[in-house]
Chains A and B, each alone.
Chain A
């Protein structure tokens, strides 16, 4: 029996990375910048696995999407949300300091990915920290395809929970083809035209109306109810299911 069919991706090995910067982003999310011992190239939407090892050998592992600008990287940024009673997120938020060594491997994931060469327009929808891989796509766009039409629907609990808020508002202010539709689920909207409810078909349709043509790809990332609501709305709006890629939080 052969275990080597064609076209398999190469093995991705574990490496140690050093935490070189910690940046609070929202009340519940901090960015951790890692300096890689073995730099790699990655695409927007890809993730890394983090592995923590206790002195007795017990290990915990989690996946985190890469937020930083895609391409060849010697550092990567992960935005880690502090989950209630989260075994790994508690550790990052309470114990990790600059200079710590952490084991990780990547880049991983070959479906929820986008490169400028893939083209657009794009419809993006992110719920909470689900916006992270979409921010990597926007950073790819900014560097490689700056006028590509993209609409982002971003659902957050409150104004202060809008991850990368300043960066997103600044990008939207350029009016170069990027539209930002914010919806807050536990607070009234702040900007004219924003929403104050969970994502629904009307919000998805408003985002589609911002694009000059139907999206070539739709990327949706967040909790399962968020992803189902956004994906079902996109399908009702006439977008083929084959163009819709999703990523759901897996705990």
Chain B
């Protein structure tokens, strides 16, 4: 069977351009470094004015708290410097973000994670699922700036989720809410064959990986 062969398959003539050793340890298998910041999205780029933006925290169908732009920006701010990895195989090192940790959003709403699963929602109808444990403990934020500039619409502005330890489709652009769900609910790409969890170090790109 073809799959049995793949463990030691070598492509004739391919040498590749393996990155320098000091960087190689930071690049997950099958990824390559980029210095630009590719833009990938499934539809037109939404342009959301700050005065029309809001963020809603829900438990199931029930809204727990809603913040407008001003209120959200008054929440405690945190800076993160992280490597990011896109399932389309680019990785980018040492990206600088500033925003509000999911921990601080939950603290402001005065709740602990009530379930083990979250669906992140975007203004354009996009959604993606992330376990609660991957959003808390300082691991994830709602990012408002990238490289010290307000997040542009192309990169998900006004606000995007940042879950840097998972493939980047989990870091939903144009974020407008997080919803705790009773069970793990597949989001937009997860319903279309992408992996339910998406760990780049395990190459969890598609279902079954």
B11–A102 contact, CB under 8 A?
Answer: yes
CA distance A242 to B125 in the complex (A): 9
B14–A5 contact, CB under 8 A?
Answer: no
CA distance A109 to B42 in the complex (A): 11
B184–A2 contact, CB under 8 A?
Answer: yes
A15–B2 contact, CB under 8 A?
Answer: yes
CA distance A6 to B5 in the complex (A): 31
Residues in A neighbouring B43, C-beta threshold 8 A = 231, 241-242, 244-246
What is the distance, in angstroms, from A234's C-beta to the closest C-beta of chain B?
Answer: 8
Interface string of A29-59 (1 = CB under 8 A from B): 0000000011000000000010111111011
Task: Given A60-B16, A61-B30, verify A110-B41 contact (CB < 8 Å).
Answer: no
Is A63 located at the chain interface by the 8 A CB criterion? yes
A228–B154 contact, CB under 8 A?
Answer: yes
Decide if the interface of chain B is mainly helix, strand, loop or mixed: loop
Task: Name the residue of chain B whose CB is nearest to the CB of A220.
Answer: B44
Is A250 located at the chain interface by the 8 A CB criterion? yes
Interface string of B58-102 (1 = CB under 8 A from A): 000000000000000000000000000010111000000000000
B186–A8 contact, CB under 8 A?
Answer: yes
What is the distance, in angstroms, from B95's C-beta to the closest C-beta of chain A?
Answer: 16
What is the distance, in angstroms, from B55's C-beta to the closest C-beta of chain A?
Answer: 21
B192–A111 contact, CB under 8 A?
Answer: yes
Q: Which of A12, A15, A111, A250 contacts B208 (CB 8 A)?
A: A12
B45–A228 contact, CB under 8 A?
Answer: yes
Is A251 located at the chain interface by the 8 A CB criterion? yes
What is the distance, in angstroms, from A155's C-beta to the closest C-beta of chain B?
Answer: 17
B38–A12 contact, CB under 8 A?
Answer: no
The tally of residues in A whose CB lies under 8 Å from a CB in B reads 58
B12–A53 contact, CB under 8 A?
Answer: no
Q: Which of A1, A3, A38 contacts B116 (CB 8 A)?
A: A1
B44–A235 contact, CB under 8 A?
Answer: yes
CA distance A49 to B30 in the complex (A): 11
Stretch at the interface among A65-73, A93-101, A199-207: A93-101
Is A173 located at the chain interface by the 8 A CB criterion? no
**Which B19-44 residues have a C-beta within 8 angstroms of A?**
29-30, 32, 34, 36, 38-44
B193–A108 contact, CB under 8 A?
Answer: yes
Residues in B neighbouring A102, C-beta threshold 8 A = 11
CA distance A3 to B5 in the complex (A): 28
Is A103 located at the chain interface by the 8 A CB criterion? yes
Interface string of B192-209 (1 = CB under 8 A from A): 110011000000011111
A250–B11 contact, CB under 8 A?
Answer: no
Task: Given A11-B207, A12-B206, A111-B192, verify A246-B14 contact (CB < 8 Å).
Answer: no
Task: Name the residue of chain A whose CB is nearest to the CB of B45.
Answer: A228
A224–B18 contact, CB under 8 A?
Answer: no
A10–B6 contact, CB under 8 A?
Answer: no
Residues in B neighbouring A10, C-beta threshold 8 A = 207-208
Residues in B neighbouring A235, C-beta threshold 8 A = 44
A14–B116 contact, CB under 8 A?
Answer: no
Is A16 located at the chain interface by the 8 A CB criterion? yes
Is A13 located at the chain interface by the 8 A CB criterion? yes
Task: Given A10-B207, A11-B207, A246-B41, verify A3-B196 contact (CB < 8 Å).
Answer: yes
CA distance A234 to B86 in the complex (A): 28
Task: Name the residue of chain A whose CB is nearest to the CB of B154.
Answer: A224
**Which A96-150 residues have a C-beta within 8 angstroms of B?**
96, 100-103, 108-112
CA distance A87 to B41 in the complex (A): 24
B88–A250 contact, CB under 8 A?
Answer: yes
Q: Residue among B14, B16, B193 with the most chain A CB within 10 A? A: B14
Q: List 19 A-B contacts (CB under 8 A).
A: A1-B116, A8-B196, A10-B207, A10-B208, A13-B2, A15-B2, A49-B205, A53-B10, A54-B10, A62-B89, A87-B32, A100-B11, A102-B11, A103-B9, A109-B192, A231-B44, A235-B44, A246-B43, A251-B36
B-contacting residues of A (Cβ < 8 Å)?
1-3, 5-16, 37-38, 49, 51-56, 58-63, 87, 91, 95-96, 100-103, 108-112, 224, 228, 231-232, 234-235, 241-242, 244-246, 248-251
